[in-house]
A and B are shown apart, each in its own frame.
Chain A
Amino acid sequence: MAALNLSKMSQEEVIQAVIDHGGAGITKCIQCNACASVCPVAKAGFSLYGRLLFRKLQTGHYEEIIEDASSWACQACNRCTEICPRDARPFDIVFAFRRMQAEELAISTSAFTPLMSLHATGHAVTSEASKKLRQQVGLDSQPATSIEDEQAQKEIQTLLENGPMGELGIF
């Protein structure tokens, strides 16, 4: 592999973009690896997690990682935020990167179904199995949320379609 010429990378732009998308802690990372040590994404064997993602972004790597699906495996557990010794808020940086990916429509296929469900029902995840369970314990088959409320669903759709996600044109 040829050496990467750092002085020809647009590092400042990438770092600024991460900050603009909510990952202001990117300049605080000291590559200590604490976030990776607790990260379910790393444990599940994905390739681009925590400190490695941040290093790539710090050094201006953007184009080559934009399609990587690892970030969509983030469970938002926030253990990284708790353990980070520099208060860099790693979770915020991962989500900032996701927003940047979404803008490029580099959304993992695994993320599309929940997004469409959110648009349709107001819930990212719905479960057929839960209907039965609810009935067994004497509850209505569906919770009293937007899930069976057309008016609420319309409002959610209006919100989504008029926000940044609407601009992606996926709904």
Chain B
Amino acid sequence: MAKVGVYVCHCGSNIGGVVDVESVREHAETLPDVTVSRQNLFMCSDPGQEIIRQDIKDGLVDKVVVAACTPRTHEPIFRKVLEGEGLNKFFFEMANIRDQDSWVHADDHNGATAKAKKIVDSAVAKARHLMPLEEKYVDVTQAALVIGGGVAGIFSALELANMGHKVYLVEKEPSIGGVMAQLDKTFPTNDCSACILTPVMVDAGTHPNIELLTYSEVDSVDGYIGNFDVKIRKKQSYIDWHKCTGCGDCAEACPVRTPNEYNASLDNRSAAYIHFPQAVPKKAVIDMDACINCGGRKIGSETRISKKTGKPILAPCERACPADAIDRSIPVDAEGDILDVKVGTIVVATGYKVMEKDTFKSLAPDSPNVLTALQLERLISATGPTGGKFLRPSDNEKPKTISFLSCVGSRDQKHHTYCSRVCCMYMIKQAKLLKEKYPDLNIYMHFMDVRTPGKDFDEYYTGALEMGIKIIRGRVGGIDTLPDDRLKVMAYDADLAQNIEIDADLVVLATAIELQDDIKPLAQKLSLTLDGSGFFKELHPKLKPVETAVEGVFLAGCCQGPKDIPDTVAQAKGAAAAAAVPLAQGRVKIDPAISEVNREKCSGCGICEPLCPYGAITMAEFEGGHKRAIIEMTQCKGCGVCTTACPSAAIELHGYSEDQIMAQIAALTL
């Protein structure tokens, strides 16, 4: 016979203000197997816990029901009480009479009290049938994977590596660096972006604990916290990176011209190219989508000998390479190579992209003089298409009047409802850099409102005002094209309460930050969910900002939401610290609330196998050729799908057994 103790909590006025707690306590006393029934203002307080402790000590109670708030936050506290008194900690059941009762029926005291009694009935019914469960542990693979080699991924990788952990840093582009490597200067200090980033990139590239896997993508992820099996596809570079010295001769020899992603498509690059001058690693790749196979030198084709010269006919890139790193006669797999790695934890730092201007038809996207802010960033950068000279694209003349438009695609129901957070500041930065260099430049900036919530941010903004940069409150309605590729910005000045127009030589659009279109497959591979804004969803917006619903997978940087560089670095280091915890512990706990197959009952029908969303079930052959289902405990998440599907009722979900659930249903319905 179980000895069930029921403890009803007031939760201050959260429950006590609605539910008649004393009446619920009295009712619990009448239930079968209930030996004590008590109430307290806060059961989770030290004195509250002490009541339970004492009853266990006195031998009055061996199963505990607390009727209070949610097990999500409070179950661990009460389980610890049981454990401390030598009881199996799973001899505990929580009746949620707050979230599921007093909060939703605040205006119906009698109804809420009656419902609280029912919820307690159900919890007590289950508690009478509780069985002891045991937590298991598995060892953790001592390595981490960081996906994304932007500033977030670099810092997460460095942090983990400096703690002594092996790190695989995967980046899809040929070089690490991400968007920060494309920026000219950074607000609010106007540090040169490359100057502060390059040393960190070099650190990551040379760290003994970091294995840099650039031009690579995650192909598949299996396993669970502590033991992830990851397949990484190293994309085919068509250049032997062991030999490549990064001299760039192949890029100069290559005759192809294709849009240069690094310069935001403002100019062209060759098919054989090095990502950017400070690339880490500084290795060339051949973009086979753009390559025209000069001289018929398709990859894997036999080398022909020229009849005239008697020398082999080679493509310009092959001829140019002084390191013999390019040999187009070698047949290589276009799909690249697959690398298997095992890691204990994963940090996702896949970054973002800015919206392209083409989306905004009313803002003259076809004009070459309408740029996204990232394009302007490249235009004023010393490594950009003009070598840092500020020239407008249509005629390479220096602009005299320039308009900045904020919130393009942000705070707009048609595109993204969120604020992209960094646009106000980077636009002010760009305006200040230009005004410093060209004091005669007329700069107009259109804002719905200027948002500068950061250290030294508002001072940075007011400094722009004093430099003579014109700040105008009001969202721009549209842009007309004028002769000579000039642009008429049609706007409103809320402070003047008047429609205004500006004839500009150049217009800059602060387009919204969003997740890359091709990120969804990765989200699926990792079982990550997206939030309402379309970014990766953290486990809790305040208390678990780097954790995800998938244990062992953490988030850093803009893939979790728009943020500036300081916030990104802070989150990257936070994610690394969180990801290091399982590695440092060396083993992870397996929740016992998982399913197990009763081999005697299993008929081997195999219905459960394809239903399992976690791939935890396999069919194994036993003596006499009998097939039986086996559940891998490290992969099972205890969802219960197999349990309900099994026609032989051969699968038990521990902690939610059939007799426990039937007892609960009976208590609620009889």
Contacts and interface: CB of A to CB of B under 8 A. Distances in A.
Interface of A: 1-8, 11-12, 15, 27-31, 51-52, 55-56, 58-59, 61, 86
Interface of B: 401, 442, 444, 462, 465-468, 470-473, 490, 493, 495-496, 498-504
Contacts of B466: 27-28
Contacts, number: 62
Contacts of A27: 465-468
B87 to A, nearest CB: 62
Nearest to A24: B466
A56 B500 CA distance: 13
Q: Which 8 A-B pairs have the closest CB atoms?
A: A3-B499, A7-B503, A55-B495, A5-B501, A3-B501, A7-B502, A31-B495, A27-B466
Contacts of B499: 1-4
Contacts of B467: 27
B486 to A, nearest CB: 10
Contact of B500 (A6, A15, A29, A58): A6
Given A6-B444, A31-B495, A59-B496, 20 more contacts: A1-B499, A2-B499, A3-B500, A4-B500, A5-B500, A5-B501, A5-B502, A6-B470, A6-B493, A6-B500, A6-B502, A7-B504, A8-B503, A12-B468, A27-B467, A30-B465, A30-B471, A51-B495, A55-B495, A86-B462
A15 B468 contact: yes
Contacts of B465: 27-30
Contacts of B444: 6-7
B468 A4 contact: no
B500 A11 contact: no
Contacts of A55: 493, 495-496
Contacts of A31: 473, 495
A56 B471 CA distance: 13
25 contacts: A1-B499, A4-B493, A4-B501, A5-B502, A5-B503, A6-B444, A6-B470, A6-B472, A6-B500, A7-B401, A7-B442, A7-B501, A7-B502, A8-B503, A15-B468, A27-B467, A27-B468, A28-B465, A30-B462, A31-B473, A31-B495, A55-B496, A56-B496, A58-B470, A59-B493
Nearest to B492: A3
Contacts of B490: 3
A8 B489 CA distance: 13
Q: At the interface, is chain B mostly helix, strand, loop or mixed?
A: strand
A149 B501 CA distance: 59
A15 B501 CA distance: 19
A107 B370 CA distance: 46
A24 to B, nearest CB: 10
Nearest to A86: B462
Contacts of A15: 468
A5 B498 CA distance: 11
A7 B499 CA distance: 13
A132 to B, nearest CB: 50
Nearest to A3: B499
B221 to A, nearest CB: 50
B176 to A, nearest CB: 40
Contact of A11 (B470, B493, B495, B503): B470
B468 A6 contact: no
A55 B474 CA distance: 14
Contacts of A6: 444, 470, 472, 493, 500-502
A5 B495 CA distance: 15
A8 B499 CA distance: 14
Nearest to A25: B466
Contacts of A52: 495
A11 B471 CA distance: 13
Nearest to B403: A7
A133 B442 CA distance: 60
A86 B503 CA distance: 31
A106 B396 CA distance: 46
A116 to B, nearest CB: 36
Nearest to B490: A3
Contacts of A11: 470
A4 B501 CA distance: 6
